[in-house]
Amino acid sequence: MKKTLTIVIILVVLVIGYGFVTYNSLITSNEGIKGQWAQVEAQYQRRFDLIPNLVESVKGVMKQEQAVFNAIAEARTKYAGAQSVDERAKAAGEVESALGRLLVITENYPELKSAENVQTLMAQIEGTENRISVERKRYNDLVQSYNVRVKRFPSSLVARLSGFAEHAYFESVEGSETAPTVQF
C-alpha cells in the first residue's frame, strides 16, 4: 500500500511537473512568435520609410540632370532653326549657358549620378525585400515549431487546457507574385 501510494504520488508530481514545463515552454514559444512578427513589421516599416525617400532623392538628381540636357537640346534646336545672325547668336548663348550649368554639375559630380543613384536605389530595394523575406521565414519557422508542439501528444493536452491555439503562417497575398513597380 505504501509503495503504491508513493508510486502514485511520484506519477502525479511528474505529470504536474511536465504540465508546468510544457506550459512555460509554450509561453516562451508564443512570445518568440510575437517578437519575430515584430521583426517582420520593423522591416516593413523600413521599407515604407526608406524606399519613397530614396525614390525622391533619385528623382531630384535626375530632374537636375534632365533639365540641363533638355536645355542643351532646346538651345541646339533653336540654333539649327535660326534664320538670322541675331537668332543664332542668342541660341549660341543659350547653348553656352546650358553647357555652363552642365560643367558646374560635372565639377560637383565627376560623373553624372543618375545611373549610380538608380543602382543604389535598386540595391536598397533588393536588400529591403531580402530582409523582409528572411524575417518572414524566421517567423514561419517559429510558427511551425510552435504548432507542432501544440498538436503533438501529450503537449497538446496542456496546450488545450491552457488555451494555446495554433498560429497562422505568413502567406503571401494575392498578386504578390508580381514585383512592385518603381516609377520616376
Q: How many domains does the chain have?
A: 1
Q: Is residue 63 in a domain?
A: yes
Entry pTM? 0.57
Residues of the domain holding 46 = 1-162
Rg (CA), the chain: 33
pLDDT at residue 59, rounded to an integer:
66
Return the CATH number at 151.
Answer: 1.20.1440.20
Q: Is residue 61 in a domain?
A: yes
Residue-wise pLDDT for 44-59, tens only, equals 777 777 766 766 766 6
User: Cβ distance 134 to 57 under 8 Å?
Assistant: no
Q: Is residue 82 in a domain?
A: yes
pLDDT at residue 133, rounded to an integer:
80
Q: Is residue 145 in a domain?
A: yes
CB atoms within 10 A of CB 143: 20
d(CA 63, CA 67): 6
Q: Which of the residues in the chain have pLDDT under 50?
A: none
pLDDT at residue 102, rounded to an integer:
61
Q: Is residue 128 in a domain?
A: yes
Q: Environment class of residue 179 by beta-carbon count within 10 Å: exposed (0-12), middle (13-18) or buried (19+)?
A: exposed
The DSSP symbol for 14 reads H
Q: Is residue 90 in a domain?
A: yes
d(CA 15, CA 155): 11
d(CA 109, CA 131): 31
Long-range contacts of 69-75 (CB under 8 A, 24+ apart): 69/102, 71/97, 71/98, 71/101, 72/98, 72/99, 72/102, 74/98
Q: Is residue 179 in a domain?
A: no
Q: Is residue 53 in a domain?
A: yes
Q: Which residues, in sequence order, are CB contacts of 42 under 8 Å at separation 6+?
A: 135
